[in-house]
Amino acid sequence: MEKKLWGGRFSEGTDQFVEEFTESVSFDKELALYDIKGSIAHARMLGKQGIIPQEDAEKIIKGLEEIKKEIEEGRFEWKKELEDVHMNIEKALIQKIGDVGGKLHTGRSRNDQVITAFRLYLKEETQNIIELLKELKKALLKKAKETVDIVMPAYTHLQRAQPIRLAHYFLAYLEIYNRDEERFRDTLKRIDQMPLGSGALAGVDFPIDREMTAKELGFSEVMRNSMDATASRDVIIEFLSDAAICISNLSRQSEDLIIWNSTEFSFVELPDKLTTGSSIMPQKKNPDVLELIRGKTGRVYGDLVALLTIVKGLPMAYNRDLQEDKEPVFDAVRTLKGSIIGMTKIIEGMKPKKENMEKAAGGFALATDLANYLVRKGMPFRKAHHVVGQIVAYLTKENRELESITLDELKRFSDLFEEDALNILNPYSVADARKSYGGTAKERVLEQIRYWEERLS
Ligand code: ARG
């Protein structure tokens, strides 16, 4: 049994249940390298400030570097009875270099230590997520460039609405994921603030140099208030909110592609290597990656709600409840990164079925444009809408598509129709008529592509 580093005032050992119930090392060892990084900066600062002798600081740093290597090589033995990652490393240090290792925790508390390591971790993972979102955006841009000349119906209420160029759809998601990236970038500014040097909650009674540790750890700012620094988790909630919003977008796009991949739609072909088969039905090729992105969205929402709930009733300052902030974040990071990678691979590998999309883009998806034809001839839009509605009802009853209508038939509904009305009934020209800024006309789509090419290259 390991002796507790805080065991001085206790006359009996910790109940085994309590040890099991309160330990966090089984999951917070994920922070090990960040914890060591924080400790090395702290030790160097203690030495430089003369708070501990320089040579002690050097011994501590050397010991920590050895421990780091042991962890990286999987040789380090984690012990639950030592509670958390911080205590495991500190105890190993003392065992390695002797009593002088006990000087590391001078002018520091686990309360500022843990959130420093956590912020270092989050900084790195946020940057990783930003990089992955960039790759996804590039994949969307590439797909957009390949699909400018494919029209498809866009949907509202999952009913065919109006024809668009397929590229326009990909560019819509590029905008969406770009905002996700911006949100992470913005949060990164607030993650990038250093709590170290706040002690347990009230600050530190040694002449520490927080600017020095911040510089060494690569933090842009030092947190101004020690209670805030040790007790607040709103920035972590903000990160989880960004993650939840981002995966909601991934989930929504997954749903599109799952539908497009169905036999009924048959708008896309997903590559074999990104789909899975059924153990019973030989014909199946299932879009499991997309389904799991959609499904895992529930986890990330849960992670966000967990942390919101954990903090809601906490008195100032640190409370042990805050140890529960880690697993949701680790889970959200893993889940979101996997989901972005999955979506990127799907976008890169999917093949649109041009003919099917084109075919579906015609028919009643052109009805708005027929109404707008009448508007151009002077009919008020509301009236034109009604007239074309009657045409749709008439053709539907006859089980016919819009393109099959003749000029004579059109004239029965309005004498404003002339020969050129029939030219409208083509999804490409209909899409290209939407030249308003942000619209789906080819020239507008090419403009968007140029915009992103300049930014993503
Ligand atoms: N494992 C703890 C956590 O994650 C570290 C801080 C413990 N502080 C304390 N006063 N018991 O929050």
Quote the ligand 1 centre to 309 CA distance (angstroms). 18
Catalytic member of 26, 220, 262, 278: 278
**pLDDT tens profile 20-55:** 999 999 999 999 999 999 999 999 999 999 999 999
DSSP 161: E
**Percentage of the chain exceeding pLDDT 70:** 100
Structurally, what CATH architecture does the domain formed by 7-106 represent?
Answer: Orthogonal Bundle (1.10)
Q: How does residue 5 score in pLDDT terms, banded at 50, 70 and 90?
A: confident
Ligand 1 pocket, 84 CB below 6 A? yes
Residue ranges of domains in the chain:
7-106, 114-198+223-356, 360-456
CA neighbor of 64 nearest in space, from 43, 85, 93, 42:
93
Q: What distance lies between CA 457 and its chain's CA centroid?
A: 22
pLDDT over 90 at 203, yes or no: yes
- Active-site residue flag, 198: no
Ligand 1 pocket, 110 CB below 6 A? yes
Ligand 1 pocket, 323 CB below 6 A? yes
Ligand 1 pocket, 9 CB below 6 A? no
Minimum-distance ligand 1 atom for the alpha carbon of 200? 10
Phi-psi region of 139 (alpha: psi -120 to 50; beta: other; left: phi over 0): alpha
- Is residue 174 within 8 A of residue 221, CB to CB? The reply is no
Q: What is residue 281's predicted lDDT score, i.e. its pLDDT? A: 80
CA neighbor of 307 nearest in space, from 385, 241, 353, 262:
241
pLDDT over 80 at 67, yes or no: yes
Quote the ligand 1 centre to 119 CA distance (angstroms). 15
Q: What is residue 17's predicted lDDT score, i.e. its pLDDT? A: 95
Backbone angles phi, psi at 156, to 5 degrees: -125, 145
Tokens of 353: 């079925």
- Is residue 286 within 8 A of residue 373, CB to CB? The reply is no
Ligand 1 pocket, 210 CB below 6 A? no
Q: How far apart are CA 141 and CA 314, in angstroms?
A: 46
DSSP per-residue codes, 202-227: T--SS---HHHHHHHHT-SEE-S-HH
**Percentage of the chain exceeding pLDDT 90:** 91
Ligand 1 pocket, 201 CB below 6 A? no
The CATH number for 360-456, chosen from 3.40.50.300, 1.10.40.30, 2.40.50.140, 1.50.10.10, is 1.10.40.30
Find the helix or strand (DSSP H, E) in which 165 lies. strand 159-165
Residues with Cβ within 8 Å of residue 7, at least 6 apart in sequence: none
Quote the ligand 1 centre to 335 CA distance (angstroms). 25
Ligand 1 pocket, 322 CB below 6 A? yes
Model confidence, pTM? 0.94
The CATH number for 114-198+223-356, chosen from 1.20.200.10, 2.130.10.10, 1.10.10.10, 3.40.1080.10, is 1.20.200.10
Mean predicted confidence (pLDDT) in 78-107 = 98
Topology match between the domains 114-198+223-356 and 360-456? no
Catalytic member of 157, 279, 436, 457: 157
Q: How far apart are CA 157 and CA 384, in angstroms?
A: 22
Ligand 1 pocket, 59 CB below 6 A? no
Q: How far apart are CA 365 and CA 80, in angstroms?
A: 64
Sign of the Cα pseudo-torsion (360, 361, 365, 370, in order): negative
Minimum-distance ligand 1 atom for the alpha carbon of 322? 12
- Is residue 152 within 8 A of residue 361, CB to CB? The reply is yes
**Residue from 18, 31, 78, 84 to probe ligand 1 pocket by mutation (most atoms less than 8 Å from CB):** 84
Tokens of 284: 């199946």
Q: Who wins on pLDDT, 4 or 446?
A: 446
Tally of CA atoms within 13 A in the half-sphere of 163 that contains its CB: 32
DSSP 192: S
Mean predicted confidence (pLDDT) in 305-319 = 98
Q: How far apart are CA 68 and CA 44, in angstroms?
A: 16
Q: What is residue 276's predicted lDDT score, i.e. its pLDDT? A: 85
What is the distance between the terminal CA atoms of the chain, rounded to a whole angstrom? Answer: 57
* Protein residue closest via CA to atom 4 of ligand 1: 323
pLDDT over 70 at 1, yes or no: no
Quote the ligand 1 centre to 369 CA distance (angstroms). 64
- Active-site residue flag, 157: yes
Q: What is residue 229's predicted lDDT score, i.e. its pLDDT? A: 98
Mean predicted confidence (pLDDT) in 232-243 = 98
Ligand 1 pocket, 143 CB below 6 A? no
* Protein residue closest via CA to atom 11 of ligand 1: 320
- Is residue 240 within 8 A of residue 307, CB to CB? The reply is yes
Backbone angles phi, psi at 414, to 5 degrees: -160, 135
Mean predicted confidence (pLDDT) in 325-331 = 98
Phi-psi region of 212 (alpha: psi -120 to 50; beta: other; left: phi over 0): alpha
Quote the ligand 1 centre to 198 CA distance (angstroms). 14
- Is residue 195 within 8 A of residue 114, CB to CB? The reply is no
SS3 state at 351: strand
- Is residue 48 within 8 A of residue 209, CB to CB? The reply is yes
- Return the C-alpha torsion angle 245, 248, 250, 252, nearest 10: -140
CA neighbor of 119 nearest in space, from 44, 242, 37, 40:
37
Range 445-452, long-range pairs (CB < 8 A, 24+ positions): 445/144, 445/148, 445/165, 445/167, 445/168, 445/171, 446/148, 448/144, 448/168, 448/171, 449/141, 449/144, 449/145, 449/148, 449/167, 449/171, 452/137, 452/141, 452/144, 452/171, 452/174
**Residue from 18, 29, 82, 111 to probe ligand 1 pocket by mutation (most atoms less than 8 Å from CB):** 111
Ligand 1 pocket, 261 CB below 6 A? no
